[in-house]
């Protein structure tokens, strides 16, 4: 076949009924050599719809099989995902002149319902609900688009408490409800999209079959068709979001990431059954609501909305590389147990209601209990209470006794240690007293010696002074008579000076020794008066 020429400014083209080719723009090529291009082919899709496809073509290829299974009693899910501004909301809802998947689905449902009424099939009722999951600070919140309910709670059974379901009888009534809900949906303008969706919008259509009895009519089974329009993933440099818009972008990107992780975990589990299915759905409110579909128990169809322009190459390549492996997920062994469980719950609730009515009409006769039986029951109950109380008191007392024994043992050990310390302190005190008595005797002897030495020093000083005076007189008389006498005089004076210095040194040593003795005496007295100061 001839190669399809790629129009200018386009990086994505359809190469077959289930494959596309993505070409890297010249501005983003690493190797800019002439004639060198990089093209990547993605295949395995159920259908590839080019930009010139109509809404009816998309409905026929994508939504029609889900609607047929829904009318046959099986639940299904359609999810539209892609980058911001790729046409997801237009594909799902469309316009008044060009209706999307939701209006076309409602038209087919009521057309099939009108046809079935003429046959032998049981009549059916349809209920519509519409809500959105949006960002609230750093958390998530559910907003009912068909009522003014403020508090909606997502329960563990993947049902929303407080969500309003409106009974619909025609396609026109259902479309008016959807239009009214779209007016309440959160949208805002960004640099990438003038009317960007800021929430995950979900529409559910529930079909209920009815069986008419003679007494009452109750729904016996139900299937649910869910359509989800996810907000598009955004890049900050393309949208220019700031403040609250940036928080919304983080919420949208995080929800898309968790949704992709759930599908990747399902694919890995199908490839290897021994590998446990990871519970990524717990990280987002949207995935918790769609848990049955993300775990492979119900069928899901995924629409990838991509933009083929070269400027959108980064978003397109990221989405195709992320979502192309999801095409390998197979829903061969669908588990309809959830529908059966819901049917059983409704049947059980109806049976309970009927039983209550019967109980009101036919009240059973009260049982007759004698006084002896009442007394025996009372005595046995009191005995059981006393037995339980005794067991509790016994366990508490045993615990207290064991604790007190441990405490007494520790106290005995502590007293032994204290007695040993007291004996050691007494021995030290006796040693100190003996030492103090010896020191006192030594101090008395040293004081006597010092007094004797002081008297000797005083007499020696007097003798020295007398000798120096005598020498001076002799020198004065003999200085002028004989030169030899003058030299002798010099010798005598020098010797007297030496004697004076030696005497001064002795005085200093005596003062030091007296100070030392005084300190020793004071220390000994201190030890005698206060032994604990040591």
**pLDDT tens for the chain, residues 1 to 534:** 444 555 557 889 988 888 999 988 877 776 555 545 688 899 888 899 988 899 999 999 999 999 999 998 899 999 999 888 888 999 999 998 999 999 999 999 999 888 876 655 667 889 999 999 988 877 888 999 998 877 788 888 888 888 999 999 999 999 999 999 999 888 877 877 777 788 889 999 999 876 544 344 444 457 899 999 998 887 777 777 777 778 888 888 888 899 999 999 998 888 888 888 888 888 899 999 999 998 888 999 999 999 888 888 888 888 898 888 888 888 765 655 444 444 444 444 444 555 555 554 455 555 566 777 777 888 888 888 888 888 899 999 888 898 888 998 888 898 888 889 888 888 888 888 887 777 667 666 655 555 555 566 566 566 656 555 655 655 555 444 455 555 655 666 566 666 667 666 777 776 777 777 777 777 766 766 665 555
From residue 249, give the alpha-carbon distance in Å to each of 179, 227, 241: 25, 22, 8
pLDDT tens for each residue of 67-77: 999 998 899 99
55-211+220-307 has CATH 3.40.50.360 classification? no
Give the residue numbers of the binding site: 82-89
Give the chain's length. Answer: 534
Question: So where are the chain's domains?
Answer: 55-211+220-307
- Compute and round to an integer the Cα radius of gyration of the chain: 54
What is residue 99's DSSP assignment? B
Contacts of 228 (CB under 8 A, 6+ apart): 77, 78, 79, 80, 200, 201, 202, 203, 286, 290
Enumerate the known binding-site residues for ATP.
82-89
pTM: 0.60
- What is the overall mean pLDDT for the chain? 78
Q: What is the pLDDT of residues 101-153, one digit of tens each?
A: 999 999 999 998 888 766 556 678 899 999 999 888 778 889 999 988 777 88
Long-range contacts of the stretch 496-500 (C-beta < 8 A, 24+): 496/464, 496/467, 496/468, 496/471, 499/464, 500/464, 500/468
């Amino acid at each position: 076949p001839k190669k399809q020429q790629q129009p200018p400014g386009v990086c994505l083209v359809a190469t077959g009924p289930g494959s596309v080719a993505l070409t890297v723009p010249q501005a983003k090529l690493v190797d800019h050599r002439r004639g060198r291009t990089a093209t990547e082919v993605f295949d395995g899709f159920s259908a590839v719809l080019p930009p010139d496809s109509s809404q009816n073509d998309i409905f026929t290829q994508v939504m029609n099989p889900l609607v047929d299974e829904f009318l046959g009693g099986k639940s299904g899910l359609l999810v539209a995902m892609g980058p911001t501004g790729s046409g997801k909301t237009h594909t799902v809802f469309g316009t008044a002149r060009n209706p999307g998947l939701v209006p076309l689905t409602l038209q087919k449902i009521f057309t099939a319902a009108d046809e079935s009424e003429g046959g032998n099939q049981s009549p059916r009722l349809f209920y519509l609900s519409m809500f959105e999951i949006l960002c609230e600070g750093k958390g998530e919140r559910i907003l009912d688009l068909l009522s003014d309910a403020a508090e909606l709670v997502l329960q563990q059974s993947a049902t929303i408490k407080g969500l309003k379901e409106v009974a619909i009888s025609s396609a026109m009534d259902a479309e008016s409800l959807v239009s009214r809900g779209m007016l309440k949906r959160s949208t805002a303008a960004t640099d990438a999209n003038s009317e960007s969706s800021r929430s995950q919008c979900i529409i559910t259509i529930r079909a209920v079959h009815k069986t008419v009895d003679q007494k009452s009519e109750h729904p016996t089974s139900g299937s649910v068709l869910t359509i989800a329009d996810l907000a598009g993933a955004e890049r900050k440099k393309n949208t220019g979001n700031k403040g609250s818009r940036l928080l919304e972008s983080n919420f949208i990107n995080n929800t898309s990431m968790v949704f992709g992780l759930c599908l990747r975990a399902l694919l890995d589990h199908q490839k290897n059954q021994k590998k446990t299915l990871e519970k990524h759905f717990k990280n987002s409110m949207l995935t918790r609501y769609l848990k049955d579909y993300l775990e492979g128990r119900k069928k899901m169809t995924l629409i990838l909305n991509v933009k083929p322009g070269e400027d959108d190459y980064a978003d397109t390549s990221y989405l195709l590389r992320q979502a192309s492996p999801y095409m390998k997920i197979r829903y061969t062994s669908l588990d309809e147990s959830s529908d059966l469980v819901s049917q059983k719950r409704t049947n059980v609730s109806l049976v309970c209601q009927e039983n209550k009515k019967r109980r009101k009409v036919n009240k059973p006769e009260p049982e007759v209990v004698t006084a002896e039986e009442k007394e025996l029951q009372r005595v046995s109950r009191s005995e059981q209470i006393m037995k339980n109380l005794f067991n509790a008191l016994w366990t508490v007392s045993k615990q207290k006794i064991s604790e007190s024994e441990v405490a007494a043992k520790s106290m005995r050990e502590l007293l032994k240690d204290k007695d040993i310390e007291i004996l050691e302190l007494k021995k030290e005190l006796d040693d100190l007293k003996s030492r103090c008595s010896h020191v006192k005797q030594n101090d008395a002897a040293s004081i006597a010696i010092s007094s004797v030495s002081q008297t000797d020093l005083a007499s020696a000083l007097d003798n020295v002074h007398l000798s120096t005076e005598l020498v001076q007189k002799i020198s004065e008389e003999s200085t002028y008579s004989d030169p030899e006498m003058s030299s002798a005089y010099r010798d005598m004076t020098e010797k007297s000076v030496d004697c004076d210095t030696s005497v001064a040194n002795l005085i200093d040593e005596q003062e030091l020794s007296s100070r030392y003795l005084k300190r020793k005496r004071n220390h000994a007295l201190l030890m005698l008066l206060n032994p604990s100061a040591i």
